[in-house]
Amino acid sequence: MNVILLAPPAAGKGTQAKILSNKYALAHLSTGELLREAAKKPTALGKELSTLLGTGCLVEDEIVFEVLEERMKSEDCKKGFVLDGFPRNLSQAKALERILQEINKTIDYVFLLDTEKEILKKRITGRRLCEHCGQIYNINDLSSKPKEDSICDNCHHELTIRTDDTEEVYERRYKEYLEKTEPLISYYRESHTLHSIDCNQSIENITKGIDEILRKRDDLND
């Protein structure tokens, strides 16, 4: 099973991707995470990325393809994957189709997690990330608050704040979403793979909504 999570920034796609990945043994492919990792490297590309990621603008397609294609070659992608943050525009969606055709795979589900912009914007300042185990928290949300504000419940490493998680950068990220990513909604609606889930609810209820749709599928345990 191959799944795409489509969502405006701060809708919780990273959290749901992680849950889906654990539950259904799917590889979690987050282009944001791959790019943040690449940005830490002491290379010219690393430097360029670390500046770019702080602005909230989308990264050039070629760079994204490079990090993603590398990751897609891994053994764990064979059973299926959850794409978190990719595709982000029409040309990425078309490139993905070409790549999948070559390896005889298809996209089975596209979940759109969405709610009002102002609700999402409020979430952004509370988001905390454990760079060690990848767990995402929100100190303003009871259902995803860590026990201690700056420490990961799982591995006890210090939590960090993403440089692009500010209200100011959020405006740019949301603009990018509306201009470039939102057109993918009608694109995937036409191919009948799109399912909308209201993300203004608890993490558990969002997962429940996704599960209800997946449960209708009979080959989940293949």
Which residues, 15 to 34, sit near ligand AMP by CB under 6 A? 31-32
- Written in H, E and C, the secondary structure of the chain is CEEEEECCCCCCHHHHHHHHHHHHCCEEEEHHHHHHHHHCCCCHHHHHHHHHHCCCCCCCHHHHHHHHHHHHCCHHHCCCEEEECCCCCHHHHHHHHHHHHHCCCCCCEEEEEECCHHHHHHHHCCEEECCCCCCEEECCCHHHCCCECCECCCCCCECECCCCCCHHHHHHHHHHHHHHHCHHHHHHHHCCCEEEEECCCCHHHHHHHHHHHHHCCCCCCC
Residue 12 contacts ligand AMP per CB under 6 A: no
Q: Is 173 in the site for ligand AMP (CB under 6 A)?
A: yes
In angstroms, give the least distance from the CB of 193 to ligand AMP.
18
Q: Work out which of 92, 115, 135, 138 binds ligand AMP, going by CB under 6 A.
A: 92
Does residue 127 have an active-site annotation?
Answer: yes
Does the active-site annotation cover 13?
A: yes
Which of 20, 29, 64, 112 is the binder for ligand AMP (CB under 6 A)? 64
Active-site annotation holder among 18, 88, 123, 128: 88
If binding is defined by CB under 6 A, does position 123 make contact with ligand AMP? no
Task: Name the residues that contact ligand AMP, by CB under 6 A.
Answer: 9, 31-32, 35, 53, 56-59, 64, 85-86, 88, 92, 164, 173
